[in-house]
Structure 1
Amino acid sequence: MKKIVLAIDSFKGSLTSQEAEQAAAEGILQVYPACEILQIPIADGGEGLLDTLLPYLQGHSISLYAHNPLMELIETCYGIASDGQTAIIEMATISGLPLIPPSKRNPFEATSFGTGELIKDALDKGCRNFIIGLGGSATNDAGLGMLQALGYRFFNKQGEELGLGGKIMKEVASIDTKSIHPALEEAFFTIVCDVINPFCGPKGAAYVYAPQKGADEAMVKELDAGMASLASVIRKTTDRDIAVCPGAGAAGGMAGAFLAFTNCLLKSGIHLVLEMLSFSRRIKNADLIITGEGRIDRQSAMGKVPYGVLTKAQEQDIPVIAIAGSIEEVNYLNQAGFQAVFSITPAPLSLQEAMEPIVARQNIRGLVSQICRVIEINPRVISSSPSHSKFSSFKKR
């Protein structure tokens, strides 16, 4: 085995992309000490986007204080590329679900105000091109908090200015744009997301994602009704109909706010990342690619890191093995094109135990080592397809 590429997403709540790949590299070297291992830290638009893109854009990190979803002031960061014009903002770093303890998660109260503060800071520093990673949000306020931080004001039917959180959506009757940041008109936003959910409705932001953010059934219905009402007000105000726009429901409807009020383009996270990382060029002549994430299932074939990596690998006839903390629908994943899919957990463990970083690293290292041992015994096991002919004459090393 001469060259193996590692393109593994973070194991959320456990390991970063870099940590997962380092563990896998250690497993490879136990069997193939002379193998060239190319580690490509990767993300699909959510957690890890900043760490993935900033080195390739030769940028630097900006540290600042901003407000988390419960309006608590915390230290956070975003990045500015070497051109001084491009800001990379990962919503999860300031408006993310992990920032809020489970007992305090409440999308009625949670606000995206902090994300707007990061955008404002970047605008003040001269940035006019933005890459915004939507993913892992704690909010379902349709991006109203972000807009409020940028100078938008929202009023009810009585002309009273509204506060923060998802609870205000149903009350919005008018929108005041007189005090918005003057540089917004000059800015362009590339919105990176990996979902196609509409703004509202049965497959919209509230019904699909609000439960994991702390909403019960009654709250979900109220949030969705609020989003439908808000979409109507936005349509009357901007002449933009975001109600059923694919992807507008990303990050609790924040993508819809960008579509309605900014110059923007929604783009698949993994496709953008792979393009920016020159992934196709860097994987040339690889014998194998190992990808993965915390959980792999049918959804992994809908814009997630593993499937994006698979698509690029198939263009060059490179076999792909996927690893994950948990896996489902293996037959479907094999049919989609993955050579094999493995769980890193070798024995029954509680979720808490399995997610311990030291345990996850050991499990990844051990699994990848075992995979390589099987390949070493019989290189043909890596591919049952004649198209992977590079393995048919591979000699044991």
Structure 2
Amino acid sequence: MRVVLAPDSFKGSLSADAVCAALETGVLRAVPHAEVVRVPMADGGEGTLDCVGAATGGREVSLDVSGPLGHPVTARYLLAADTASAVVELASASGLPLVDPARLAPLRADTTGTGQLIADAVRRGARSVLVCVGGSASTDGGTGLLRALGARFLDASGADLPPGGGALPDLDRVDFTGVSDEVRATRFHIACDVTNPLIGPRGAAAVFGPQKGAGPDEIALLDRGLTRLADVLADTFGTAVHRLPGAGAAGGTCGGMLATLDATAEPGCALVARSVGLPEALTGADLVLTGEGRLDRQSADGKVVSHVARLAAERGIPAVALSGQTVPPLDDLHALGLTAALSIADGPRTLDAMTGSAAALLAHTAEQALRLRLS
């Protein structure tokens, strides 16, 4: 019996690899001679470096870069062994957790640090870069990232705009002459887990600005800035990203990259699944176990469980998801191909108690799922 394990992490409790280890323990209790294939997954956000690194090798590179508000932070990215490709997590250099909640500055936070990571990878030879854009602290349209790659954003007097989305309403033109041939020759793959456009009521500022500290007036200013940025980029590069689905990801970083670089955007789960070889691992599988910390209606919208269920269903393989909590209805997940969803809870417990016992509970529930499968 071949069982593929393809879970997300249980945030705050277990990494995806640790979840795999617990699931494998349970599977082998029920079927001692099972062939177990571990494929830890992520959705393109936190944990992606670890998943891709474990599957493909390569090495982590640590770099001191500019944080969201200009303070120095030590960030990391993954460089392939042959240096031809790299994986960069925006959250590592430009993420919201890097800003003190009491010091949120939505108008001046920017993505310079992420661009510095990319520039370092390109300098070392990477010509294919996967950029995971979840969890940003800024709404700068990716201008900080592009500045770090050599671009300039100028006002009507020819002066450089200050960092952050708050300055973008004054944008007059973009100067790309400082962007190197190496960057221009690099193919960028953007792992994007939202479908929001760049501007408007569902845009980057309106939807994600509040969590970054923006009030109503600041949201309106940021939206005007992103609109102005999109106008100038369309005039300069010929690509209009104003209402492009996904362009609003990471405070518009996705839109800025799509308009200016050789870049494509795709749901993070699909990119990660290909990077770690999940489609190939499913060949000949009899069962897939997946999971995440909480399963609810939102899990069907581009999360790991939904993508794993879809891949399994396309191959006629039953897929079972384990989670700390399952919140019905889960009809959308079942429609995508999920066979069943099981909670690992064994009774009333506090969150801390569940977190501390997650590995043991996962192993127990996986064992029971396998015994049911064999019945």
Return closer, same or farther for 1:144/1:18 CA change in 2, 3 Å cut-off. Answer: same
Return closer, same or farther for 1:329/1:117 CA change in 2, 3 Å cut-off. Answer: same
- Residue in 1 that maps onto 2:364: 369
- 1:241-280 to structure 2, matched below 5 A, reads 241-280=240-279
- Residue in 1 that maps onto 2:20: 21
- Residue in 2 that maps onto 1:338: 338
What are the Cα deviations for residues 186-228 of structure 1, in whole angstroms up to 9, with x where unaligned? 2211112122221111222222222222333333233222211
- Residue in 2 that maps onto 1:39: 38
**Deviation of 1:374 (Å):** 5.9
What are the Cα deviations for residues 317-367 of structure 1, in whole angstroms up to 9, with x where unaligned? 22112233444343423344322223444455665x36xxxx425235314
Paired with 1:102 and 1:11, the residues of 2 have a C-alpha distance of 24
Count of residues in correspondence between the two structures: 374
**Deviation of 1:259 (Å):** 1.0
Paired with 1:348 and 1:69, the residues of 2 have a C-alpha distance of 41
- Residue in 2 that maps onto 1:391: none
Give aligned-pair identity as a percent: 38
Return closer, same or farther for 1:222/1:52 CA change in 2, 3 Å cut-off. Answer: same
- Kindly indicate whether residue 65 of structure 2 is the aligned counterpart of residue 66 of structure 1: yes
- Residue in 1 that maps onto 2:221: 222
- Kindly indicate whether residue 355 of structure 2 is the aligned counterpart of residue 360 of structure 1: yes
Return closer, same or farther for 1:314/1:232 CA change in 2, 3 Å cut-off. Answer: same
- Residue in 2 that maps onto 1:156: 155
- Residue in 2 that maps onto 1:90: 89
SS in 1 for 2:56: coil
Asked whether the 8 Å contact 1:27–1:366 carries over to 2, the reply is no
Return closer, same or farther for 1:316/1:146 CA change in 2, 3 Å cut-off. Answer: same
TM-score, normalised on structure 1?
Answer: 0.86
My pick for the range that moved more, 118-127 or 53-62, is 53-62
TM-score, normalised on structure 2?
Answer: 0.90
My pick for the range that moved more, 339-348 or 37-46, is 339-348
Asked whether the 8 Å contact 2:111–2:143 carries over to 1, the reply is yes
Asked whether the 8 Å contact 2:68–2:137 carries over to 1, the reply is yes
Corresponding letter in the other structure for 1:81: A
**Deviation of 1:285 (Å):** 3.5
Return closer, same or farther for 1:296/1:34 CA change in 2, 3 Å cut-off. Answer: same
CA RMSD of the aligned region, Å?
A: 2.4
Corresponding letter in the other structure for 2:179: I
Return closer, same or farther for 1:55/1:19 CA change in 2, 3 Å cut-off. Answer: closer
- Kindly indicate whether residue 290 of structure 2 is the aligned counterpart of residue 291 of structure 1: yes
- 1:161-200 to structure 2, matched below 5 A, reads 161-200=160-199
- 1:46-57 to structure 2, matched below 5 A, reads 46-57=45-56
- Kindly indicate whether residue 146 of structure 2 is the aligned counterpart of residue 147 of structure 1: yes
Q: Please, which runs of 5 or more residues in structure 1 have no aligned partner?
A: 383-393
Asked whether the 8 Å contact 2:295–2:326 carries over to 1, the reply is yes
**Deviation of 1:311 (Å):** 1.1
Asked whether the 8 Å contact 2:322–2:365 carries over to 1, the reply is no
Asked whether the 8 Å contact 2:5–2:289 carries over to 1, the reply is yes
**Deviation of 1:243 (Å):** 0.2
- Residue in 1 that maps onto 2:230: 231
What are the Cα deviations for residues 8-54 of structure 1, in whole angstroms up to 9, with x where unaligned? 11233433211222233334444444433322111121112222223
SS in 2 for 1:130: strand
- Residue in 2 that maps onto 1:318: 317
Asked whether the 8 Å contact 2:196–2:246 carries over to 1, the reply is yes
